[in-house]
Amino acid sequence: MTNRFSDIVIELMVLDVSNIMRGRTRLQKTMFLLKYKYKVPLGLKFEPYFYGPYSEDLAYDIEMLKALGVIEEQIVRVNDYIEYQYKLTDKGKEILSRLLEKDQQLKQFHEKISEYVKELNEIPLRDLISEAKSLITASSL
């Protein structure tokens, strides 16, 4: 399961579990750690970047899903910086729900992704970045 469609389905699962994904950096590091720490079969390519690994593929997917009305981006001012928040729209929830209804294996996979994402969402962003940066040197991007 490492084609572009499966990557997008996993991205939808991550946003579903998160309810609201707080920040582009958190989303990028979460997807990276899913791939390299938890061995989730993602085809996303990552490259080293200032705040750790970054995937242009993921950034493209997010823009496409926004344009299709599957996810929503909200820009929120938090203290002295801007935070981009992402969540599934009703359309996105419906698409994911239909996919999960049709495939029991996918539903079980969603449960596993839920465990991983809930764990990652508990980690402060600075620690998430550090963990991703330490793994980026160990992985062969």
Q: 44 in a domain, yes or no?
A: yes
Tokens of 37: 């720490």
Residue 52: give its domain's CATH number: 1.10.10.10
**pLDDT over threshold 80, residue 139:** no
Q: 138 in a domain, yes or no?
A: no
Q: Which residues pair with 47 in a beta bridge?
A: 54
**pLDDT over threshold 90, residue 136:** no
CA 124 to the chain's CA centroid: 16
**pLDDT over threshold 90, residue 126:** yes
Q: 135 in a domain, yes or no?
A: no
State residue 130's pLDDT score.
Answer: 94
Convert the pLDDT of each residue in 97-108 to its tens digit. 999 999 999 999
DSSP-derived secondary structure for 51-108:
TS-B-HHHHHHHHHHHHTTSEEEEEEEETTEEEEEEEE-HHHHHHHHHHHHH-HHHHH
Convert the pLDDT of each residue in 32-74 to its tens digit. 999 999 999 999 999 998 889 999 999 999 999 999 999 999 9
% pLDDT > 70, the chain:
96
Q: 136 in a domain, yes or no?
A: no
Domain region containing 63? 4-130
Q: 140 in a domain, yes or no?
A: no
Q: 55 in a domain, yes or no?
A: yes
**Domain count within the chain:** 1
Q: 16 in a domain, yes or no?
A: yes
Q: 139 in a domain, yes or no?
A: no
